[in-house]
Amino acid sequence: MFVHDIAIWERFLDEHGKDFTGFSYDIKVGTGATLPRKTPEAYRRMADILSKYRIDAVGFKANQIEIIEVKPEASTVAIGQVITYVDLYKRDYEPTAPIVGAIVTDRHLPDIAYLTNLHGINYYVV
């Protein structure tokens, strides 16, 4: 999460944190960068860490997992991120619980509310 996301996240935790049993942060998914074979191991490790997609938070509930993107004035970009993160999380971690995407934001936008509903993404405005 970026600095400007923290206040939004703290409001979310105040309002909805009790609905979750726990959270994991900055979860990396995806394959990351492909480097030439002769790249030194130290650079390979750095590229592995820095080039993967990062999920802001993964929230755990009794019966499901939420893949959470925190973004001020979330737009269609956040929807694309959540769809991508959900699919990569499923592939990389093979969870047994159902997965739901979620966007946490600070401003209600009617089109985003419509699109998140259409795609089964939870939309939290805090």
**Cα atoms in the 13 Å half-sphere on the side-chain side of 7:** 4
Continuous H helices in 1-126: 3-16, 41-50, 76-93, 110-118
pLDDT tens for each residue of 75-103: 999 999 999 999 999 999 999 999 999 99
1 residue type, one letter: M
Class of domain 3-125: alpha beta
Q: What are phi and psi of 116, to 5 degrees?
A: -65, -40
The whole-number average pLDDT for the span 92-121 is: 98
pLDDT digits (tens, 9 = 90+) for 5-47: 999 999 999 999 999 999 999 999 998 888 888 889 898 888 8
Amino acid 46: pLDDT: 86
Task: Give the model's pLDDT for residue 39.
Answer: 87
Please say if the pLDDT value at position 1 is more than 80: no
Taking only Cα atoms into account, the Rg of the chain, rounded to an integer number of angstroms, comes to 16
* Other CB atoms within 10 A of residue 28 CB: 15
Residues with Cβ < 8 Å from 28, sequence gap 6 or more?
Answer: 49, 52, 53, 54, 55
Q: What is the pLDDT of residue 41?
A: 87
* Alpha-carbon torsion, ordered 66, 70, 75, 78, to 10 deg: -50
Domain ranges of the chain: 3-125
Q: Are 86 and 19 in contact (CB under 8 A)?
A: no
Q: What is the pLDDT of residue 32?
A: 84
pLDDT for residue 98: 98
Q: Which pLDDT does position 101 carry in this prediction?
A: 98
